[in-house]
């Protein structure tokens, strides 16, 4: 927080302002629950104080997406559990469209060639189960 305040004082001011409005929402949903306020705050009240940039990202984002299903579940059940409770529809799981087989073709053409040679077909590209 100290470095942010020195280098980007207006940004820190805006983060405090966002946190003020955000914590007002939190306190309306969870009146008197100081633990929720602490966990969901953008400011970590430690020594030294820190800005929780990941929390800022969650409240500032339209959706939160894990890299894979297991990552999305970890976000919902551990890392951002309280945010998931507050915004259950914000957390989604959509893959970016790069499948393992396409990744192998692009990133490791020698392995792709080996698969095709061993299987005597390149149909594994469309059906990954053929590699079993």
The pLDDT tens digits for 24-71 are 999 999 999 999 999 999 999 999 999 999 999 999 999 999 888 899
Is pTM beyond 0.75 here? no
Three-class DSSP category at 118 = helix
Q: How are beta strands 91-92 and 64-65 bridged, if at all?
A: parallel
Q: What pLDDT was estimated at residue 97?
A: 59
Q: Please, which residues bridge with residue 91 across strands?
A: 64
Q: What pLDDT was estimated at residue 130?
A: 84
Is residue 65 within 8 A of residue 92, CB to CB? The reply is: yes
The pLDDT tens digits for 73-121 are 999 999 999 999 999 999 999 876 566 777 888 888 999 999 999 999 9
Is residue 116 within 8 A of residue 124, CB to CB? The reply is: yes
Q: What pLDDT was estimated at residue 5?
A: 95
């Amino acid at each position: 927080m100290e470095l942010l305040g020195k280098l980007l004082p207006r940004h820190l001011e805006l983060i405090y302002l966002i946190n003020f409005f955000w914590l007002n929402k939190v306190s309306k949903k969870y009146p008197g629950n100081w633990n929720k306020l602490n966990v969901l705050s953008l400011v970590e009240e430690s020594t030294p104080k820190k800005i929780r940039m990941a929390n800022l990202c969650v409240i500032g984002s339209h959706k939160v997406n894990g890299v894979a299903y297991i990552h999305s579940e970890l976000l919902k059940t551990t890392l951002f559990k309280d945010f998931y409770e507050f915004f259950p529809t914000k957390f989604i799981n959509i893959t970016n469209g790069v499948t393992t087989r396409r990744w192998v073709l692009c990133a490791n053409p020698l392995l792709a060639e080996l698969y095709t040679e061993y299987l005597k077909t390149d149909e594994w590209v469309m059906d990954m189960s053929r590699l079993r």
